[in-house]
């Protein structure tokens, strides 16, 4: 008879608990990951980008404010820190597999890391982007979980940083081949390391699908860039805000 | 698996403490990462349960930043306003970073295929 009331009640109850946000987040990611695998791991079908699109559309359709969604989804968000600590494992594996290449790799990492920050800041300022955007661009080549922690410390938006990091990863995964072929870089370890420094996790996953040696070096580069970025970017950001 | 998770959480806790009291500019989890890396180098091997946890995290790392990245809906006007600057900075920076890193590697290695 009166069917509408119970359904509304169930809805009100569900949307007040973290469960709804968690189901939404995980389902959206599941959809993204499924499409990513269906597309033969095409960087354009990035699972995070698809998941964000699905969650954002659902929130809009349900008329649910972002703050309320995040209240529930923060349980997933919290694990970022734990995932960051566990990056020590792939870094350790990468370091123990090095064959006397430590010097070129560290030098390349330093130069690549510096290029990533300086070029982003200079280009964005040239087009007169506002300081909030410039701040969020600084750590975009660092793996997203670390980049977001760094963003918090330098007073930039972790959200914008995460979005720029994902976009950088996608762009890097697509463009790396053309840049490296153009420069005639043929050694897999050099190609992999360059992708890992510039395009962190998304680039690394791309590198693994091309060649295992490239993937291993990309993963090492991503981890080392994460550590370097966390230590150095707050210092550089301080310099940029003073000058 | 639980043993590995507990160990990682403890390193994270240690990292948060060191960050809070000694190096406030570095995020706690990154210090936890460095401490764990030191521990693994001293130990010489990776505990199996820890490897299991770390591998599941790294396989689906992307899932964890979906909640924060969805916040992009709050920034849409700003992103639209600065779209050109952002695209130019992202594309320019990633191309230059790949090129510089690769060129430095080539310049500092005698035989790359050795």
Statement to judge: residues B15 and B45 lie in one domain: yes
Residues A127 and A63 in one domain: no
Q: Are residues A72 and A160 in the same domain?
A: no
Kindly state whether residues B22 and B49 are assigned to the same domain: yes
Number of independent structural domains in chain A: 2
Q: Please check whether residues A61 and A137 belong to one and the same domain.
A: no
pLDDT at A162: 94
Helix or strand (DSSP H, E) at A218: helix A212-242
pLDDT of amino acid A97:
76
Residues of chain B positioned with their CB less than 8 A from the CB of A70: 67, 70-71
**Domain with B4 in it:** 1-63
Q: Considering the entire predicted model, what is its pTM?
A: 0.91
Do both B1 and B41 map to the same domain? yes
Which of residues A85, A116, A143 is at a domain's end?
A85
Same domain, A144 and A31: no
Can you list the residues of chain A whose pLDDT is less than 70? 1-5, 240-243
Please report the pLDDT score of residue A5 as a whole number.
66
Q: What is the 3-state secondary structure (H, E, C) of A12-35?
A: HHHHHCHHHHHHHHHHHHHHHHHH
For residue A181, what are its two tokens?
């072929």
Do B75 and B25 reside in the same domain of the chain?
Answer: no
Q: How far apart are CA A127 and CA A190, in angstroms?
A: 32
Q: Rounded to whole angstroms, how far apart are CA atoms A58 and A180?
A: 39
Closest CA to A231 of A107, A146, A112, A127: A146
**What span, in angstroms and rounded, lies between the C-alpha atoms of B92 and A123?**
8
| Among A63, A85, A107, residue at a domain's last position | A85
Q: What distance in Å separates residue A212's CA from the closest CA in chain B?
A: 15
Low-confidence spans in chain B with pLDDT less than 70:
112-114
B35 and B91 in a single domain? The answer is: no
Residues A105 and A72 in one domain: no
- Judgement on whether residues B95 and B109 belong to the same structural domain of the protein: yes
Closest residue of chain B to A200, computed from CA coordinates: B94
Q: From chain B, pick out residues whose CB is under 8 angstroms from the CB of A193.
A: 101-102, 105
Q: Are residues B113 and B79 part of one domain?
A: yes
Residues A194 and A232 in one domain: yes
- Smallest CA-to-CA distance from B68 within A158, A57, A67, A137 is with A158
Q: Both A67 and A179 in a single domain?
A: no
Q: Which domain holds residue A30?
A: 4-85
The reply to whether B28 and B73 lie within a common domain is no
pLDDT of residue B59: 86
Quick one: CA torsion of B45, B51, B54, B58, rounded to 10 degrees?
100
The three-state secondary structure class of A156 is coil
Distance from CA of B93 to the nearest CA of A (A): 5
Answer yes or no: do A29 and B60 touch at CB < 8 A.
Answer: yes
Last residue of a domain, one of A85, A119, A137: A85
CB A194 within 8 A of CB A182: no
**Closest CA–CA distance from residue B94 to any residue of chain A (Å):** 6
End-to-end CA distance of chain A: 70
Whether residue A80 is found in the same domain as residue A133: no
CB contact A11 to B (< 8 Å): no
Residues A201 and A220 in one domain: yes
User: Do B56 and B74 belong together in one domain?
Assistant: no
Q: Are residues B83 and B59 in the same domain?
A: no
- The predicted pLDDT at position B1 comes to 82
Please name the residue of chain B whose CA is at the shortest distance from the CA of residue A99: B114
Residues of A in contact with B40 (CB under 8 A): 88-89, 92
- Residues B58 and B46: their CA atoms lie apart, in Å, by 15
* Same domain membership, residue A113 and residue A65: no
Instruction: Pick the last residue of a domain from B63, B83, B100.
Output: B63
The total number of structural domains that make up chain B: 2
If asked whether residues A165 and A200 sit together in one domain, one would say yes
Whether residue B47 sits in one domain with residue B23: yes
Calpha distance A217→A211 (Å, rounded): 10
Q: CA B101 to CA A217: how far, in whole Å?
A: 13
Per-residue model confidence (pLDDT) at position B112:
62
Q: CA-nearest residue of chain B to A185?
A: B102
Q: Looking at A127-211, list the stretches that DSSP marks H as alpha helix, in order from N- to C-terminal side.
A: 131-138, 144-153, 158-182, 188-210
Q: Of the candidates B11, B41, B97, which has its C-beta nearest A92's C-beta?
A: B41
3-class state of residue A187 by DSSP: coil
* A186 near B CB under 8 A: yes
Do B104 and B81 belong together in one domain? yes
The 3-class SS string of B26-88 reads CCHHHHHHHHHHHHHHHHCCCCHHHHHHHHHHHHCHHHHCHHHHHHHHHCHHHHHHCHHHHHH
Nearest to B64 among A79, A164, A186 (CB): A79
Q: Are residues A26 and A114 in the same domain?
A: no
């Amino acid at each position: 008879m009166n069917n509408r009331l119970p359904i509304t009640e169930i809805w009100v109850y569900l949307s007040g608990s973290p469960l709804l946000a968690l189901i939404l987040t995980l389902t959206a990611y599941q959809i993204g990951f499924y499409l990513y695998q269906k597309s033969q791991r095409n960087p354009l079908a990035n699972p995070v980008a698809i998941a964000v699109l699905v969650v954002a559309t659902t929130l809009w359709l349900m008329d649910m404010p972002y703050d309320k969604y995040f209240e529930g989804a923060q349980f997933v968000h919290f694990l970022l820190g734990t995932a960051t600590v566990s990056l020590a494992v792939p870094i350790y594996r990468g370091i123990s597999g090095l064959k006397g290449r430590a010097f070129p790799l560290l030098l390349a990492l330093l130069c690549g890391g510096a290029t990533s920050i300086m070029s982003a800041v200079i280009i964005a300022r040239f087009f007169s982007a506002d300081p909030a955007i410039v701040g969020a661009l600084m750590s975009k080549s660092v793996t997203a979980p670390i980049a977001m922690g760094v963003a918090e410390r330098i007073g930039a938006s972790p959200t914008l940083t995460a979005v720029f990091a994902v976009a950088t990863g996608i762009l890097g995964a697509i463009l790396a081949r053309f840049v490296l072929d153009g420069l005639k870089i043929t050694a897999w370890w050099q190609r992999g390391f360059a992708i890992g420094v510039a395009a962190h996790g998304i680039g690394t996953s791309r590198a693994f699908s091309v060649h295992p040696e490239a993937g291993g070096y990309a993963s090492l580069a991503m981890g080392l860039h994460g550590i370097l970025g966390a230590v150095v970017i707050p210092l550089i950001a301080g310099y940029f805000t003073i000058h | 698996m639980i043993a590995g998770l507990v160990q990682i959480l403890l390193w994270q806790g240690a990292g948060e403490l060191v960050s809070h009291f000694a190096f406030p500019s570095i995020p706690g989890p990154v210090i936890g990462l460095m401490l764990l890396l030191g521990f693994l180098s001293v130990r010489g091997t990776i505990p199996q349960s820890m490897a299991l946890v770390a591998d599941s995290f790294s396989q689906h790392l992307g899932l964890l930043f979906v909640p924060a990245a969805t916040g992009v809906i709050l920034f849409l006007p700003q992103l639209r306003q600065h779209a050109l600057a952002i695209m130019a900075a992202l594309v320019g920076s990633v191309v230059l970073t790949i090129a510089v890193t690769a060129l430095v590697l080539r310049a500092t290695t005698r035989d790359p295929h050795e």
